[in-house]
Amino acid sequence: MSDEPIALVKPQWRDAFRRFMEAGELDPDFEAYLNTDPDAQHAVDQAFEAQAGSLSTLLREASAVELPPELTVRGRAERAAAVLKAGLDLPPHEQESFFARFTSALKEQTTESQQRALAATIDRALQDI
């Protein structure tokens, strides 16, 4: 006998079993069959356990993946800081033009709500400097 849960399901119900396990579709006739067949119930239990194990493995593997720096909050913050630092490193007479263009571009790419949130965050951060 196969180790696959579907082997416990009577052949005429295997398509309904697959639909139930893959899409969650529970045909009323298949449900009646499940309610009366302990082997089919065991098959569902085994399939759910296998799915839960696969999900657990996937979550474990996903949490072990290290994101490229540009996708992390820290990486994005460091890139933004580098841009601002580049503006500060310009000669004083070029800084005003740089920051005017920077803020203009930022305004074009953000909503008013995002702009207010950014201004409040910068205000709070500057109090710690």
What are the Cα distances from residue 53, in Å, to 21, 50, 56, 93? 14, 5, 5, 62
Predicted confidence (pLDDT) per residue in 37-65, tens digit: 999 999 999 988 887 777 777 667 766 76
Q: What is the pTM of this model?
A: 0.47
Predicted confidence (pLDDT) per residue in 7-19, tens digit: 999 999 999 999 9
**Which tokens hold the place of 22?**
């893959």
Domain ranges of the chain: 5-64, 69-127
